[in-house]
């Protein structure tokens, strides 16, 4: 997805938050607060966020920030913490009697965004910039300049060179900021990620600009690349040097995990209750899977049943299969009147570039300030160096791929952002949250299966459940690992034995939970959306009102779901499952 200030994008979200903000005229929120100018306050917050987070701004389509990165010095981090705290206090100064009902909602949305950003960098919160090297990865990732055709290549090359020139300083600041000993899983991830840039910059990073620009540009590219490679080699070596002293100390702890939920998603439900809810969802999905497998693969184990589903591969491979699926999914949405498709845009399907194949599938969606750019649904091919059996196993079954296409495009992320980019408020276009975005995409999988996508076959059901179970184990692993009731090894076992993931995926997912404690938001968001839908539509005709619900839900942009619940149901903003 396009860069958004959510915890799933730790590599961008956290790195993008640690910058001293300019006090240039027109960006002083305290002045607009004193004057009672709410629209000006909102606009100034957006602009100040872009100044603080140039990478975030570029992802939204504000290319005057091209080539710039956040100031990740200690002074820069402190200044950003102070800015966010002051913004929250100033926004709270706009009391209900000074605002219209719509502006009160906007105020609460803005405060929620600021609190969420603050949590990740506040020394009293997660303090990720002092502990987790993964939080800096966005400051080293130049993919927007390579993959997004927002300007002629000659212009993007100059921005790319300027970006590369910032890398040595940022790497030095990261090494100065990170407190040791590090968590062992952070060492593993950091070494792999920084080592990946060592390979990418002189490889695909240089190849992308072959023959572009002047000879002077090419020479500047070579110099900047060499310096960036040297910085990443030094950083990868430094991370690895921390291994001997590293410890399994990644957990936020119960108190901070509970605060994370409240500050980033306005969820105050006790973690014990959340764990009970998650286990109930896991059990319900396991029951459905067992019933489906008894019909689809009678007498066989669940593992054998899943292998049978996976063996039915998309014709022509995953990219060709996904292209065919998208047309059918869009037609299904229209025929069943599920949700409004607000424009003519289509998502392209392409093979993922070599430097970005750590996930099987993802989508790049242009930001609200971009005009006429395509969205691209990327699918990674198997590594050609793998044995043929492993390459074959990497390609998902048709049913599994179908729900990946649902999640990424119709009616998941792509449709979500078609609506968000048409929100009447720019704030809702710019700030789309983790649980809203991933919750909607994951909710879409289950909802489309209920509506009968794929013909309602058992194979289709098993494909949907394979995705749902993965997210259930993320939910339980996030809670368990970060509140102290589960080790990383136990999470690995959970993914294998309870959610039927292969060894490699289970290992990857357990590791992700150590540095992305908010990856429970897929299931948490889905459950809140499903409950809100059922409560809202109960007096409006039940399932007949689902389209109206979907349209109204998506119209808000991307605030915390409890705030959407307040707008649609009245009462206070709270999480209901």
Query: pLDDT by residue (tens digit) across 27-36?
Result: 567 777 777 8
Across residues 131-143, what is the average pLDDT?
A: 92
Q: Which two tokens stand for residue 207?
A: 């190849």
Terminal-residue alpha carbon distance, the chain: 26
CB atoms closer than 10 angstroms to residue 571: 8
Model pLDDT, residue 33? 75
CB atoms closer than 10 angstroms to residue 546: 22
Across residues 303-325, what is the average pLDDT?
A: 95
Query: pLDDT by residue (tens digit) across 203-228?
Result: 999 999 999 999 999 999 999 999 99
Model pLDDT, residue 263? 98
- Cβ atoms of 42 and 48 within 8 Å: the answer is no
Q: Which two tokens stand for residue 467?
A: 């995705």
Q: What is the mean pLDDT of the chain?
A: 93
Q: Which residue has the higher pLDDT, 259 or 5?
A: 259
CA dist 396 and 379 (Å) reads 11
Q: Which two tokens stand for residue 489?
A: 């090894």
Query: pLDDT by residue (tens digit) across 181-207?
Result: 999 999 999 998 899 899 999 999 999
Residue 170 reports pLDDT greater than 80: yes
Q: What are the C-alpha distances in Å from 148 to residues 172, 208, 365, 456?
A: 28, 12, 9, 37
Helix (H) / strand (E) containing 351: strand 347-351
Q: What are the C-alpha distances in Å from 575 to residues 3, 8, 117, 208, 269?
A: 26, 20, 20, 46, 7
Query: pLDDT by residue (tens digit) across 46-102?
Result: 999 999 999 999 999 999 999 999 999 999 999 999 999 999 999 999 999 999 999
Residue 22 reports pLDDT greater than 50: no
Model pLDDT, residue 358? 63
pLDDT class of 21 with cuts at 50, 70, 90: very low
CB atoms closer than 10 angstroms to residue 267: 25
Three-state SS at 166 = coil
pLDDT class of 40 with cuts at 50, 70, 90: very high
DSSP letter for 377, please: E
pLDDT class of 9 with cuts at 50, 70, 90: very low
Which residues are registered as beta bridge partners of 364? 376
Nearest to 303 by CA among 498, 509, 472, 507: 498
Residue 14 reports pLDDT greater than 60: no
Residue 533: phi and psi, rounded to 5, are -60, -45
Residue 26 reports pLDDT greater than 60: no
pLDDT class of 562 with cuts at 50, 70, 90: very high
- Cβ atoms of 57 and 2 within 8 Å: the answer is no
Contacts of residue 27, defined as CB under 8 A and 6 or more positions apart, other chains included, come to: 21, 44, 47, 48, 51
Whether the predicted model's global pTM rises above the 0.85 cut: yes
Model pLDDT, residue 393? 84
pLDDT class of 271 with cuts at 50, 70, 90: very high
Residue 310 reports pLDDT greater than 80: yes
Burial class of residue 3 (count of CB atoms within 10 Å of its CB; 0-12, 13-18, 19+): buried
Token pair 């936020």 in the structure block, residue: 252
- Cβ atoms of 506 and 477 within 8 Å: the answer is no
pLDDT class of 467 with cuts at 50, 70, 90: very high
Residue 267 reports pLDDT greater than 60: yes
Across residues 444-451, what is the average pLDDT?
A: 98
Pairing of strands 361-364, 375-379: antiparallel
The backbone region for 106, taken as left when phi is positive above 0, alpha when psi lies in -120 to 50, beta otherwise, is alpha
Query: pLDDT by residue (tens digit) across 230-257?
Result: 999 999 999 999 999 999 999 999 999 9
Residue 522: phi and psi, rounded to 5, are -60, -55
Token pair 């949250």 in the structure block, residue: 433
Which residues are registered as beta bridge partners of 348? 376
Across residues 91-117, what is the average pLDDT?
A: 97
Token pair 């009245």 in the structure block, residue: 570
Q: What are the C-alpha distances in Å from 371 to residues 35, 62, 362, 374?
A: 34, 11, 21, 9
Across residues 385-390, what is the average pLDDT?
A: 84
Across residues 283-311, what is the average pLDDT?
A: 97
Query: pLDDT by residue (tens digit) across 343-371?
Result: 999 999 999 876 677 678 999 999 999 99
**DSSP helix, strand, coil percent of the chain (3-state; round to 5):** 65, 5, 30
Q: Which of 173-177, 485-489, 506-510 has the lowest mean pLDDT?
A: 506-510
């Amino acid at each position: 997805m396009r860069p958004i200030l959510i915890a799933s994008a730790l590599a961008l979200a956290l790195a993008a938050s640690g910058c001293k903000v300019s006090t240039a005229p027109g960006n002083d929120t305290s002045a607009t607060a004193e004057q009672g100018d709410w629209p000006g306050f909102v606009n100034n917050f957006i602009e100040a966020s872009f100044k603080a987070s140039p990478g975030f701004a570029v992802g939204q389509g504000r290319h005057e920030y091209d080539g710039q990165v956040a100031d990740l010095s200690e002074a820069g981090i402190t200044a950003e913490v102070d800015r966010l705290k002051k913004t929250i206090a100033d926004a709270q100064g706009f009391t209900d009697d000074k605002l219209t009902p719509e502006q009160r909602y906007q105020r609460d949305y803005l405060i929620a965004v600021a609190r969420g950003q603050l949590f990740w960098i506040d020394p009293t919160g997660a303090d990720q910039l002092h502990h987790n090297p993964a939080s800096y990865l966005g400051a080293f990732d130049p993919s927007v300049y390579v993959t997004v055709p927002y300007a002629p290549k000659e212009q993007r090359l100059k921005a790319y060179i300027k970006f590369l020139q910032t890398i040595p300083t940022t790497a030095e600041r990261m090494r100065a900021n990170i407190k040791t000993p590090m968590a062992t899983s952070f060492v593993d991830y950091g070494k792999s990620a920084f080592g990946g840039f060592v390979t990418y910059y002189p490889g695909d990073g240089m190849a992308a600009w072959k023959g572009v620009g002047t000879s002077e540009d090419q020479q500047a590219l070579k110099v900047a690349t060499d310096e960036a490679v040297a910085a990443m080699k030094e950083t990868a070596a430094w991370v690895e040097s921390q291994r001997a002293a590293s410890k399994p100390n990644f957990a936020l702890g119960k108190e901070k995990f509970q605060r994370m939920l409240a500050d980033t998603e306005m969820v105050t439900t006790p973690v014990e209750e959340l764990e009970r809810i998650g286990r109930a969802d896991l059990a319900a999905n396991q029951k459905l899977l067992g019933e489906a497998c008894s019909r689809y693969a009678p007498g066989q184990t669940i593992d054998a049943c899943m292998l049978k589903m996976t063996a039915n591969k998309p014709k022509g491979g995953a990219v060709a299969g996904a292209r065919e699926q998208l047309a059918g999914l869009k037609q299904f949405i229209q025929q069943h009147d599920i949700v409004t498709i607000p424009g003519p845009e289509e998502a392209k399907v392409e093979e993922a570039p070599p430097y970005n194949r750590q996930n099987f599938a993802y989508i790049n969606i242009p930001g609200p300030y971009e005009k006429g750019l395509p969205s691209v649904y990327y699918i990674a091919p198997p590594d050609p160096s793998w044995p043929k059996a492993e390459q074959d196993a990497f390609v998902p079954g048709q049913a599994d791929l179908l729900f990946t296409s649902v999640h990424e495009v119709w009616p998941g992320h792509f449709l979500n952002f078609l609506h968000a980019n048409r929100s009447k408020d720019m704030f809702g276009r710019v700030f789309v949250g983790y649980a809203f975005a991933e919750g909607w995409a994951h909710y879409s999988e289950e909802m489309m299966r209920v509506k009968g996508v794929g013909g309602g076959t058992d194979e289709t059901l098993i494909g949907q459940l394979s995705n749902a179970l993965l997210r259930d184990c993320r939910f339980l692993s996030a809670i368990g690992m970060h509140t102290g009731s589960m080790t990383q090894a136990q999470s690995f076992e959970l993914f294998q034995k309870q959610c039927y993931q292969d060894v490699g995926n289970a290992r990857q997912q357990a590791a992700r939970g150590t540095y992305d404690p908010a990856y429970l938001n897929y299931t948490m968001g889905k459950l809140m959306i499903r409950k809100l839908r059922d409560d809202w539509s109960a007096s409006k005709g039940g399932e007949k009102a689902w389209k109206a619900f979907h349209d109204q839900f998506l119209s808000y942009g991307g605030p915390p779901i409890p705030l959407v619940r307040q707008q649609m149901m009245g009462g206070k903003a709270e999480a209901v499952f």
